[in-house]
Every structure is written in structure tokens, then in C-alpha cells.
Amino acid sequence: FTNETRCELEDADDESAQVYLAACNGTTAGGGYELALACKEIYLIDDGNSAVSLPEVPLLAVLPGTGGLTRLVDKRKIRRDRADVFSTTAEGIRGKKAVAWGLVDGCFPRSKFDQKIAERAKALAEAGSARLRPGARVGVTLGPITPTREANARLYKHVELRWDDSSRIAHLTIRGPSAEDVAIVQRGAEAIHAAGDQLWALRAFRELDDALLYARVNLMNIGLVLVRAEGDPARVLAHDQALWAAREHWFVHEVILHMGRALRRMDLTSRSFFALGDAGTAFVGCLLELALASDRFYLLDDPDDAVQVGVSPLSDGALPMSHGLSRLAAHLHGEPALLADLAGKHALLDPSEADEAGLVTVLLDDIDWDDDTRVAIEERASLSPDALTGMEASLRWVG
């Protein structure tokens, strides 16, 4: 969660013209320096005592991991040998040497520190203002997410999370937009802005994020989450198309960014996810992302219960994974011809077409659906959670 927060700071700088400056007016160590590394610029007070450091290895025998080491060499491009010295020097590095090594962007004496920080913050804010997107800059109040709590469930407006500790299985269901939800986004950016925190795309994905965080922290016995996206496939496609058409408005842009953050939360959650596309489901566009984020996608092929899936404008990279690829590109990493065929093909597919397009892990008819999914679910729930966490982390981020 801490590294996800740091990634969100960097994302806000890249996409939202929010610039973060770290003013280190004392020793900045470990997690404090990792937070500073997520900022655009870092300034350290030069008082002969204050230093920046990552003391985890020499003091605790643990790694700073992606929060520290990766940002040193990949983001700040510090030489590997210097990064090695820095990461094993418990007392850290001070003043002008920290500047020379690229660990900070500048250092100021105590007498001038506050003034210099204020000047630099003003300059960064002015530069950020030039990147602001169009639209009335009227903020939106995010009301509390208050699910109904039951012994084994959290029930939201658009999302349900239910679990059973004895089977080690949870059920995560998200309901797609209603006809009125679609009508709102089709009226354009101003109507979307006016909907505020009740906009389906914002409310539903805030609830999804809350449910995922709850599962991470509180459902320690759950190893497998079964994912369903319910609704009308055509509505989801129409919703995504209208939302994408209004994307230049700052609020719409922020909503899409938030959807991406919630989906990345799912990518980074150490649970197995199986998406189940049976009757009544609508894995289309932004909801198809849930299936692509899952470790497997089972789809029912039953003429009597027509199921449709499909890609939308939001499938083409608007909701990227943490390493920058779209889930569609990661899913079809080794099948570029299939990826090219789907690019820009914003249409609904029947089960056989979805299977041929490479979107489905297992396509099952109505005779085999119950037995085959039951066996797969029971098998997965019986496996070692630690082994699965390592396996899934190795397989989810191709490229």
C-alpha cells in the first residue's frame, strides 16, 4: 500500500499537474526518504547533521525494495556503485555530497531553507498551472463509502464482497451502469461533472477499491476471489464510449485515472482471482479489465443464456497496469496478431468470438460449466497461498 501511494504521487505529477516537492528539514531515513523519492524534487537542509538514508539493509537486514532501491537507479539514475554504498551506509549521506550523488536536488543552509523552499514551490506551481486541463475548476466532494456490514459480507451500492472462511473463497461482484448512468455520461462533460461523487464510474470504482483494501487487510483466510461483473453489455460499451469522448475535461480525466488506480489495486493484491462470465454478466470495456486482471477467465457458452464480452476505448491503454502496458497488451503479450485485431475494435463479441480473440482462459458449455468451475475453484483454494502469491506476482506483469 505504501508503494502504491508513492506511485499515485508520481501519477498525479505525470497526469494531473500536481507537483510534489520534498522539503527535508531534518534527517530523512527509510520510509521518509522513500516518500521523498516519489516527489518531483528533493531538497535537504544543510546543517552539518541532517542526512538522507536507506538504513534497512545494515540495521534491519531487510530490503527497501521498489520503494527505495528501484527509484534510486531507475528514476534518479544514480550510479549502481554509489547506490550500493548509499544503501549500506546506515548514517546516510549529507549536504553537498548528497547533491553531487543525485540523492537530492539541492541543499540550503538553515537560515535560507524556508525561503528557498517557498521560492521553488512557487515556481513549480506556476509551471504546473500551464498543464491544467479545460473545465470549470470546481472541486467535487467525495462522500464517505459506507457499506452495509454483515457477518460475512460488505454490501455497497454497486459492489458486493461476500466470503466464507471455511472454503477460503470470496465473491466480488460489481454491477454495471444503469440506463440513467449511461444517459448522464452521454450528456457530456458538464453533466458528468455535475453528477459528482455519485457518477457510476467514480462511485463504483471507489467501492471496488474499498472492497479490495478490506479483503487485503481483514480477510486473511481467503485465498481465492471469484469475480463477476453484472449488467447490460451494450450499456457498459455505450458508457465507456461517452466517458472517453469527454476525457479532455479535467474531472472526467481524473475519474478515468481513479478507475485505473483501483484496477491496479487489484493487480497488486496477493489473492488469486478467477473471473466467471456466466449468465447476466457484462465483462465489457472497463469491466473487462476485471477479467483481464484476474488469473483466469471462465466464460459460459450457452445459446439460451447469451453472454457477451468486448473491448471499449478504455481497453486500449487508458487504464494501464503499473508497468505501463494495458491489460489487453499484457494478456496477449505473445500474440501480437490477436492484439492488433482487437485494437480499436470496440464491439461486443459472443463467447466463441471472444475465445477466438484470445480473451478467454476456458470456454465451457452449460453442461460442463458447474462441474468444471467447481473443480477448478476447489483445486485453487487448496493450494499454498504463499506459493500462489509468488507465482502470480511472477506471471501478472509480462513485458
Cell, residue 397: 506483469
Would 206 be classed as within a structural domain?
yes
CA-CA distance, 147 to 284, in Å (whole number)?
Answer: 25
Under the banding of pLDDT at 50, 70 and 90, the label for residue 338 is: very high
Query: What's the pLDDT at 4?
Result: 84
218 lies in the same domain as 347: yes
134, burial (CB in 10 Å: exposed 0-12, middle 13-18, buried 19+): exposed
**Distance in angstroms (rounded) separating the CA atoms of residues 210 and 228:** 17
**pLDDT-above-70 percentage for the chain:** 100
Q: Mean pLDDT over residues 134-143, rounded?
A: 88
In 19-98, at which residue ranges do the beta strands (DSSP E only) sit?
21-24, 28-29, 41-45, 51-53, 93-94
Q: Is residue 281 part of a domain?
A: yes
Domain shared by 21 and 58, yes or no: yes
Domain check: are 182 and 121 in the same one? no
Angstrom distance (rounded) from CA 93 to CA 91: 7
Consecutive H or E run containing 352: helix 351-356
Instruction: Report d(CA 353, CA 362) in Å as an integer.
Output: 13
Residues 67, 156: one domain? no
Q: What strands, in cross-sheet order, belong to the sheet with 41-45?
A: 21-24, 41-45, 106-108
**Residue whose C-alpha cell is 509468488:** 390
For residues 77 and 157, membership in a common domain is answered with: no
Residues 354 and 383 in one domain: yes
* Gap between the Cα atoms of 283 and 308, Å rounded: 7
Q: Using one digit for the tens of pLDDT, what is the confidence trace for 372-386?
A: 999 999 999 999 988
Are 71 and 157 in a shared domain?
A: no
Q: Which of the listed residues 129, 157, 175 is the one where a domain comes to its end?
A: 129
Confidence of residue 66 (pLDDT cuts 50, 70, 90): low
For residues 88 and 38, membership in a common domain is answered with yes
pTM of the model: 0.90
Is residue 143 situated within a structural domain? no
Q: What's the 3-state SS for 98-109? A: HHHCCCCCEEEC
235 domain-assigned: yes
Please give the grid coordinates belonging to residue 327.
491489460
Question: Is the pLDDT reported for residue 299 higher than 90?
Answer: yes
Answer yes or no: is pLDDT of 294 > 70: yes
Report the first-to-last Cα separation within the chain, whole angstroms.
23
Residue 118 lies in a domain: yes
Average pLDDT in the 286-295 region?
Answer: 98
335 and 207 together in one domain: yes
Between these two residues, 133 and 142, which has the higher pLDDT value?
142
- Cell numbers for 233, please give them: 453489455
Read off the CATH number of the domain in which 392 is found. Answer: 3.90.226.10
Using DSSP's 3-state secondary structure scheme, residue 357 falls into coil
| Domain assignment of residue 138, yes or no | no
Last residue of a domain, one of 101, 129, 157: 129
- Asked if residue 135 is part of any domain, the answer here is no
Q: Are residues 237 and 351 in the same domain?
A: yes
Q: How many domains does the chain have?
A: 2
**45 close to 96: Cβ distance less than 8 angstroms:** no
Instruction: Fill in the DSSP letter of residue 284.
Output: B
**191-204: average pLDDT:** 98
Q: What is the mean pLDDT of residues 315-331?
A: 94
Q: Examine the domain organization and report whether 104 and 155 are in the same domain.
A: no
Question: 253 with 359, same domain?
Answer: yes
Q: Is residue 221 part of a domain?
A: yes
The domain of 313 spans: 148-396
Q: Which whole number is the average pLDDT over 89-99?
A: 96
Three-class SS state of 330: helix
